[in-house]
């Protein structure tokens, strides 16, 4: 029903991904997609633009209902309306939640690899970031290093800022992993801020579990989410937080206000986009997930006998490509990709460029593959040509 093969020229209109990128390089960097959003989103925005009323706007019952029924349908989670905080995007809400839970000098744990803005969040306003690197389990999948997390928690860290599902590895945390995490968090009285921006983009075989839904966890978790990855609305900067603890919720609301955002009054067109997407976007999302899944199949085919590889992501449209066999550093790997006609985010972006501390991340890159096959196939072909017989 939806045309994910349609090519849209996003150059020349301020699109971050394409700014300063040469015509013959295909950017596969920033985590947005080349697809149009559900048509109802554009129709709803155009309808309002035709009327021309751009005055101050507050969320209506319909807007709240759209968020709550989406979460009920897609995540089987009933949000009480009073527990829902409308926000202007994920990063600022993560940060303001962290400011509400800590004071300058407090320790905040982040789990790496992780995209740089999220890592940086943990050390803002005088907080001390404690970095915990994931480890590979026996199957070769990234998982939490629980001993390392416990070390940070027992050392007095107050907050864990986590990403679920995880960018860049594409992991969807399983119940056994979350249960273990919840036990630790409760033991050391740690609060969790959970970035769930990728949670609608789950592939068959995996299931997203909200940490807040585990026993005795609702009051310990600030859950932050948004339609921006789901429906390609990144430029709209809109989202929600669910905070069960009333006192904490008011503290977060006050912090958001202090940093310039009044909850319940998001930017007008962003609000219109969010409500239309949640109300009408379900079939679109299901079809898009099928399309993305077949994009991953394609990438698997093209990568089949290359010296670089990726674990199939359980969520989202990002491939975390392991190039350790090539033994190239960030700069060298970037040059090779450039020669192939591709730009991708270097692995070092996911540990804030710690070139000297070896964690192996520099031997990776992240590839965003949310695009029509007419763009993806030539890109994969370029990569294949460059890396075959490397
Ligand atoms: C894990 C994660 N969190 C947050 C963001 C940014 O969210 P926002 O633009 O709503 O601040 C991104 C965007 O790439 C992301 O991947």
Predicted confidence (pLDDT) per residue in 71-118, tens digit: 999 999 999 999 999 999 999 999 999 999 999 999 999 999 998 899
What is the pLDDT averaged over residues 134-158? Answer: 96
- Are residue 189 and residue 287 in the same domain, yes or no? no
CB of 193 within 6 A of ligand 1: the answer is: no
Query: How remote is the C-alpha of 47 from its chain's centroid?
Result: 30
State yes or no: pLDDT of 5 exceeds 90.
Answer: yes
Query: Does residue 330 surpass a pLDDT of 90?
Result: no
For residue 358, what pLDDT is reported? Answer: 65
pLDDT at 144 over 80: yes
Q: Which residue has the tokens 């970037």?
A: 334
Q: Is 118 in the pocket of ligand 1 (CB under 6 A)?
A: yes
Residues 122 and 170 in one domain: yes
Q: Are 63 and 33 in the same domain? A: no
**Which residue, of 261, 280, 299, is where some domain finishes?**
280
- Tokens linked to 94: 């993560």
Q: How far apart are CA 373 and CA 371, in angstroms?
A: 6
The four Cα atoms 225, 227, 230, 236 give a dihedral, to 10 degrees, of -120
The finding on whether 240 has its CB within 6 A of some atom of ligand 1 is no
* Least confident piece of the model among 57-71, 116-130, 159-173, 348-362: 348-362
Decide if 342 is inside a domain. yes
The last residue of one of the domains, among 260, 280, 300, is: 280
Q: How many residues does the structure list for the chain?
A: 390
Ligand 1 contacts CB of residue 194 (under 6 A) = no
Same domain, 76 and 192: yes
Q: Which atom of ligand 1 is nearest to the CA of 238?
A: 10
Residue 335 and residue 342: Cα distance in Å, rounded? Answer: 10
* For residues 54-69, average pLDDT: 96
Expressed as residue numbers, the domain containing 360 is 16-39+282-387
pLDDT above 80 (res 301): yes
Q: Return the pLDDT at 331.
A: 84
Axis-axis angle for helices 146-154, 175-187 (nearest 10) = 20
Pairing between β-strand 159-163 and β-strand 191-195 as defined by DSSP bridges: parallel
The answer on pLDDT for 145 being more than 70 is: yes
Residues 92 and 205 in one domain: yes
pLDDT of residue 356: 62
Nearest atom in ligand 1 to 31's CA: 14
Is 226 a pocket residue for ligand 1 (Cβ < 6 Å)?
Answer: yes
Q: How far is the CA of 197 from the centre of ligand 1 (A)?
A: 6
Q: What is the mean pLDDT of residues 255-278?
A: 95
In the chain, what percentage of residues exceed pLDDT 70?
98
Residue 4 lies in a domain: no
**Inside any domain, residue 1:** no
**Do residues 238 and 133 both lie within one domain?**
yes
C-alpha dihedral sign at 104, 107, 108, 112: positive
Q: What ligand 1 atom has the least distance to the C-alpha of 92?
A: 11
Q: 171, 121, 124: which is closest to 144 by C-alpha? A: 171
- Residue 253: per-residue pLDDT: 97
Whether 313 is covered by a domain: the verdict is yes
Residue-level pLDDT at 237 = 97
| Residue 47 resides in a domain | no
Task: Say if 328 falls within a structural domain.
Answer: yes
Q: What is the pLDDT of residues 225-264, one digit of tens each?
A: 999 999 999 999 999 999 999 999 999 999 999 999 999 8
Residue with tokens 């109802």: 40
CATH at 287: 3.90.1150.10
Cβ(170) to ligand 1 under 6 A?
A: no
- Helix/strand/coil (H/E/C) assignment for every residue in the chain: CCCCCCCCCCCCCCCHHHCCCCCCCEECCCCCCCCCCCHHHHHHHHHHHHHCCCCCCCCCHHHHHHHHHHHHHHHCCCCCHHHEEEECCHHHHHHHHHHHHCCCCCEEEEEECCCHHHHHHCCHHHCEEEEEECEECCCCCEECCHHHHHHHHHCCCCEEEEECCCCCCCCCCCHHHHHHHHHHHHHCCCEEEEECCCCCCECCCCCCCCHHHCCCCHHHEEEEECCCCCCCCHHHCCEEEEECCHHHHHHHHHHHHHCCCCCCCCCHHHHHHHHHHHHHCHHHHHHHHHHHHHHHHHHHHHHCCCCCEECCCCECCEEEEECHHHCCCHHHHHHHHHHHCEECEEHHHHHCCCCCCCCCHHHEEEEECCCCHHHHHHHHHHHHHHHCCC
Task: Read off the pLDDT band of 357 (50, 70, 90).
Answer: low
Q: Output the pLDDT for position 360.
A: 73
Same domain, 146 and 225: yes
Same domain, 173 and 202: yes
Average pLDDT, the chain: 95
Number of domains in the chain: 2
Query: How many Cα atoms occupy the beta-carbon half-sphere of 280 within 13 Å?
Result: 15
Contact 48, 57 (CB under 8 A): no
- pLDDT above 70: residue 375: yes
Ligand 1 neighbourhood includes 238 CB (under 6 angstroms): no
184 within a domain of the structure (yes/no): yes
- Whether 90 lines ligand 1, by a CB cut-off of 6 Å, is yes
According to DSSP, the residues that pair with 315 across neighbouring strands are 202
| Ligand 1 in reach of 91 Cβ (< 6 A) | yes
| Residue range 163-218, pLDDT digits in tens | 999 999 999 999 999 999 999 999 999 999 999 999 999 999 999 999 999 999 99
Predicted local confidence at residue 202, as pLDDT: 98
Residue 115 has what pLDDT?
87
The tokens for 204 are 């068959």
Residue to mutate (ligand 1; options 16, 91, 161; most atoms within 8 A of CB):
91
In the block, tokens 């990709």 appear at 337
- Residue 264's pLDDT is 84
Question: For residue 204, what is the domain's CATH number?
Answer: 3.40.640.10
Tell which atom from ligand 1 comes closest to the C-alpha of 91.
Answer: 11
Residues 368 and 231 in one domain: no
């Amino acid at each position: 029903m939806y045309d994910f093969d349609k090519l849209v020229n996003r150059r020349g209109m301020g699109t971050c991904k394409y700014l300063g990128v040469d015509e013959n390089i295909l950017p596969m960097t920033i985590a947005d997609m080349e697809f149009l959003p559900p048509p109802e989103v554009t129709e709803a925005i155009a309808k309002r633009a035709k009327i021309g009323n751009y005055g101050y706007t507050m969320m209506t019952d319909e807007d709240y209902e759209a968020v709550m029924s989406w979460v009920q349908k897609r995540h089987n989670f009933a949000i009480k309306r009073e527990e829902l905080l409308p926000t202007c995007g994920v990063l600022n809400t993560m940060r303001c939640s962290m400011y509400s839970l800590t004071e300058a000098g407090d320790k905040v744990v982040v789990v790496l690899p992780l995209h740089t803005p999220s890592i940086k969040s943990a050390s803002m306003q005088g907080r001390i970031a404690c970095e915990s690197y994931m480890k590979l389990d026996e199957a070769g999948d990234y998982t939490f290093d629980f001993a390392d997390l416990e070390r940070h928690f027992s050392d007095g860290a107050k907050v864990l800022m986590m990403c679920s599902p995880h960018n860049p590895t594409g992991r969807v945390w399983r119940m056994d992993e979350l249960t273990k995490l919840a036990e630790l968090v409760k033991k050391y009285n740690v609060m969790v801020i959970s970035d769930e921006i990728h949670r609608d983009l789950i592939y068959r075989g995996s299931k997203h579990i909200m940490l807040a839904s585990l026993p005795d966890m609702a009051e310990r978790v600030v859950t932050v989410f948004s339609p921006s990855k789901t429906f390609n609305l990144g430029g709209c900067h809109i989202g929600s937080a669910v905070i069960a603890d009333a006192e904490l919720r008011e503290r977060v609301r006050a912090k958001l206000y202090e940093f310039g955002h009044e909850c319940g009054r998001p930017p007008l067109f962003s609000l219109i986009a969010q409500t239309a997407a949640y109300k009408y976007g379900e079939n679109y999302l299901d079809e898009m997930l099928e399309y993305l899944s077949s994009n991953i199949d394609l990438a698997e085919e093209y990568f089949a006998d290359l010296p670089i590889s990726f674990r199939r992501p359980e969520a989202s449209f990002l491939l975390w490509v392991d190039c350790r066999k090539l033994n190239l550093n960030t700069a060298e790997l970037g040059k090779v990709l450039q020669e192939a006609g591709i730009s991708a985010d270097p692995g070092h972006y996911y540990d804030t460029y710690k070139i000297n501390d070896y964690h192996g991340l520099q031997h990776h890159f992240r590839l965003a593959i949310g695009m029509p096959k007419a763009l993806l196939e030539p890109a994969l072909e370029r990569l294949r040509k460059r890396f075959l017989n490397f």
